Amino acid sequence: MEMTSPPNVPESNDSREHALKQIVNMEVIEKQGRLADGVQYTFWTFGGDVPGKFIRVREGDLIEFHLKNHPDNKFAHNIDMHAVTGPGGGATSSFTAPGHETVFSFRAIRTGLFVYHCATAPVGMHIANGMYGLILVEPREGLSKVDREYYVMQGDFYTNGRYGEGGLQAFSMDKALKEEPEYVVFNGSVGSLTGDNALQAKVGEKIRLFIGNGGPNLVSSFHVIGEIFDNVYQEAGTEVNHNVQTTLIPSGGAAIAEFKVEVPGTFILVDHSIFRAFNKGALAQLKVEGEEDPNIYSGKQSENVYLGEGGHIQEIPESGEPAEKATTLEEKLKKGSIVFQSVCQACHQSEGQGLPGAFPPLAKSDYFKNDISKIIGPVVHGLTGEIIVNGQKFNSIMPKQTLTDEEIANVTTFVLNNFGNGGGEITSEMVRKNR
Ligand code: HEC
Ligand SMILES: [Cu+2]
């Protein structure tokens, strides 16, 4: 059976009179990929992408499901499909070790759009690494006709490093437990559906979005800026609501939203818990081409100077409190310690001991021992190429860090005064000179 990678959706089955036996071959692949520009992550996938392959069957079909775990994978996996009526949604019958294949069958007795996901312990971690996707069970009579269908699925990601911090990022169990993701994205990465990869449509077309939420933790307030959904199959069940602005999609749930595009422009899909959209990645674009319709939307018609009446125009008060600056060395070390823990530690390790072959030690480092200013460069500019630290060779990449002069001064001073290094102080001024 043909399955598709996001954001594509397989052809409809509605021309088909009878139920069929369908064979689904799903391969689990663990692979490194892009989470954001300069940020890599080891995704665990159903079929090579996050979200996994879109499966489209018809009500009454018998599905023979083959789960194949690639021999190069390191972990066992299984699948729980919310479309399955049976123990574990299939999970109890599909536990599959690397280099193995399992088979189970189920009848699609309920219609709707269903989430599937891995349910191997630790379940949260398998889902957090991208193991989810959607299966559509079309009603016998099919869905109404539309011009375009797209597959969009939200997920939250928990990296050791902060949002945007470069390099290969490890999964943070700590942040996942606290439900504090660094990334909230559509289709597995920041910008997966923007710019050249934006969804496309033409004025006058009817669009159907199959929207899922893999979680593992967050509930999505799904919204398209500048559009109103004509129809929403709430929670992807049979109840249809009309004229909806924002629809809730629970973790492990889905929705089907339909709307006609009346005017051209770029329409932005967001999780309207809005910091997630503009600061954590939950933002996609739908680019609509075609004729303007000033009767529906005019564009900017004019701009004039506005003078408030009387003297009531408020001024922003001069800020009384200057931005807090670390003044004493003690304060500086305290602040530096926080930066170290949130940024440097992920690579250089908690005691600055590094990892042989990967990250050089900052503890007793002879790299900057005789010239403390050499600690600034790697942080400000990044560092690549072969270096020798304490007699050990390293040939890797340190991404440049987006920190303020003051943060860099604090963290480097912290390193100089800890981990058996010889002490010293770096000032914001010294950092600025190295920019
Ligand atoms: C994403 C991983 C990563 C992060 C985060 C990181 N570094 Fe590095 N750092 C490296 C790598 C890799 C190298 C070696 C680069 C090479 O081989 O050329 C390095 C080298 C260095 C060096 C020179 C070698 C040495 O051990 O003395 C210093 C100093 C340094 N880092 C300081 C920092 C500080 C301070 C921070 C936090 C603000 C930081 N690094 C954050 C990966 C990282
Ligand atoms: Cu898994």
Q: Which residues contact 429 (CB under 8 A, 6 or more apart)?
A: none
What's the domain range around 410?
329-433
- Going from the Cα of 152 to the center of ligand 2, the distance in angstroms, rounded, reads 21
Last residue of a domain, one of 289, 304, 339: 289
Give me the chain's average pLDDT, please.
92
Q: Clarify whether residues 344 and 279 are in a common domain.
A: no
DSSP 428: H
Whether cis (ω within 30° of 0) applies to the bond prior to 87 is no
Last residue of a domain, one of 231, 263, 289: 289
Q: What are phi and psi of 242, to 5 degrees?
A: -120, 155
d(C-alpha 379, C-alpha 374), whole Å: 10
Is residue 346 a part of any domain in this protein? yes
Least confidently predicted of 207-211, 313-317, 347-351, 370-374: 313-317
For residue 415 and ligand 1, the question of a CB distance below 6 A is answered with yes
For residue 212 and ligand 1, the question of a CB distance below 6 A is answered with no
pTM: 0.66
d(C-alpha 158, C-alpha 164), whole Å: 12
The number of folded domains in the chain is 2
For residue 245 and ligand 1, the question of a CB distance below 6 A is answered with no
Query: Over the stretch 348-362, which tens digit does the pLDDT of each residue have?
Result: 888 999 888 778 999
Specify the CATH number for the domain of residue 335.
1.10.760.10
Is residue 75 a part of any domain in this protein? yes
Q: Clarify whether residues 364 and 235 are in a common domain.
A: no
Q: What is the mean pLDDT of residues 9-19?
A: 86
Q: Clarify whether residues 343 and 413 are in a common domain.
A: yes
For residue 283 and ligand 1, the question of a CB distance below 6 A is answered with no
Long-range contacts of 263-266 (CB under 8 A, 24+ apart): 263/203, 263/288, 263/290, 263/292, 263/293, 263/296, 263/297, 264/203, 264/288, 264/289, 264/290, 264/291, 264/292, 265/226, 266/198
Specify the amino acid at residue 367: Y
Query: Over the stretch 217-259, which tens digit does the pLDDT of each residue have?
Result: 999 999 999 999 999 999 999 999 999 999 999 999 999 999 9
Is residue 317 a part of any domain in this protein? no
Between 313 and 414, the more confident residue is: 414
For residue 394 and ligand 1, the question of a CB distance below 6 A is answered with yes
Ligand nearest to the CA of 77: 2
Question: If pLDDT is split at 50, 70 and 90, which confidence band does 399 have?
Answer: confident
Write the residue with the smallest CA distance to atom 21 of ligand 1: 378
Question: If pLDDT is split at 50, 70 and 90, which confidence band does 324 have?
Answer: low
Atom of ligand 1 nearest to the CA of 168: 1
Query: Over the stretch 267-316, which tens digit does the pLDDT of each residue have?
Result: 999 999 999 999 999 999 999 999 999 889 988 887 777 766 554 444 44
Atom of ligand 1 nearest to the CA of 367: 27
For residue 409 and ligand 1, the question of a CB distance below 6 A is answered with no
Q: Clarify whether residues 81 and 135 are in a common domain.
A: yes
Last residue of a domain, one of 289, 318, 346: 289
pLDDT on residue 313: 46
- Per DSSP, the three-state class of 91 is helix
